[in-house]
């Protein structure tokens, strides 16, 4: 049943890709259609300066998911081996990694992003990715560290050591593969958090240039809440659907690994 949890994310990304390929660029403006309600020509209506919300949301969703996937994968590739390796090494390295996770996770990522992006004249998604990656590894490392502490006492790990396997071999063949289920859940949670954080940054004016962001749609919606409430509903719905589907997809990966 866990495979069905991938359907929402696949639907969000697939529909966004289809619309993005078939629609005009989100920068295409029709001034006469500014703040227009949903219609046959514009299924989700129009926003500021007549931009088609369906095209804008589709492009923004794809870019947000791409950013979230990149940050999540890099965080997992850095954090999981670091945490699992520290658990096997024990001693000072284990304590150092645990303290590093405490320190990084005590820093609000949103405030860190605001501080860094405020010093950048024209932020891009590369800047956003770098800022998010500075802290994304810590949750993965903490989960892998906790799981590694359990696995290092497992009988199959002790058997591998008794047969002369090196610490690197034990880590690669026995410990890391058995942390995938726990780490996969964090992958979905991290991706969802990135989508929400990027939208929040764009909403407060620290997003990427060009306005192609779900936060940009929210910003338009708040500014036109009374005369065009559909804009805010579209933006909020897109953020909710994208972040929730990514979270659910992470749970699906956990279930798939557990059956194996």
Round the average pLDDT of the chain to a whole number and report it: 89
Least confidently predicted of 146-150, 242-246, 255-259: 255-259
User: Cβ distance 36 to 53 under 8 Å?
Assistant: no
pTM of the model: 0.89
Q: What is the pLDDT of residues 29-88, one digit of tens each?
A: 788 888 999 999 899 999 988 899 999 999 999 999 999 999 999 999 999 999 999 999
pLDDT of 256 strictly over 50: no
pLDDT of 260 strictly over 60: no
pLDDT of 188 strictly over 60: yes
**212: CATH:** 1.10.3720.10
- By C-alpha distance, which of 128, 238, 213, 142 is closest to 182? 142
Q: What is the pLDDT of residue 81?
A: 94
The total domain count for the chain is 1
Q: What is the pLDDT of residue 1?
A: 46
Give dist(CA 12, CA 3) in Å, integer: 16
Give dist(CA 114, CA 112) in Å, integer: 5
Structure tokens at 214: 């779900």
pLDDT of 259 strictly over 50: no
Q: What is the pLDDT of residue 131?
A: 92
Which residue range is the domain that position 146 belongs to?
2-259
């Amino acid at each position: 049943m866990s495979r069905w949890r991938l359907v929402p994310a696949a639907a969000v990304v697939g529909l966004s890709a289809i619309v993005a390929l078939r629609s005009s660029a989100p920068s295409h403006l029709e001034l006469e259609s500014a703040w227009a309600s949903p219609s046959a020509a514009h299924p989700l209506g129009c926003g500021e300066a007549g931009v088609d919300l369906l095209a804008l949301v589709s492009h923004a969703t794809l870019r947000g998911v791409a950013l979230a996937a990149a940050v999540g994968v890099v965080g997992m590739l850095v954090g999981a081996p670091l945490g699992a390796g520290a658990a096997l090494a024990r001693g000072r390295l284990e304590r150092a990694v645990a303290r590093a996770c405490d320190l990084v996770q005590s820093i609000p990522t949103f405030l860190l992003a605001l501080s860094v992006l405020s010093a950048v004249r024209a932020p891009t998604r590369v800047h956003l990715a770098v800022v998010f990656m500075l802290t994304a590894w810590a949750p993965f490392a903490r989960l892998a560290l906790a799981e590694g502490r359990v696995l290092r006492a497992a009988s199959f790990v002790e058997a591998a050591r008794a047969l002369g396997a090196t610490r690197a071999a034990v880590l690669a063949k026995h410990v890391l593969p058995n942390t995938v289920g726990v780490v996969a859940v964090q992958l979905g949670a991290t991706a969802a958090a990135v989508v929400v954080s990027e939208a929040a940054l764009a909403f407060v004016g620290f997003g990427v240039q060009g306005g192609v962001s779900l936060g940009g749609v929210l910003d338009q919606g708040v500014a036109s809440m009374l005369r065009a409430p559909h804009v805010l509903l579209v933006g909020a719905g897109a953020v909710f659907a994208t972040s929730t589907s990514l979270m659910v997809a992470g749970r699906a990966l956990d279930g798939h690994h557990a059956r194996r």
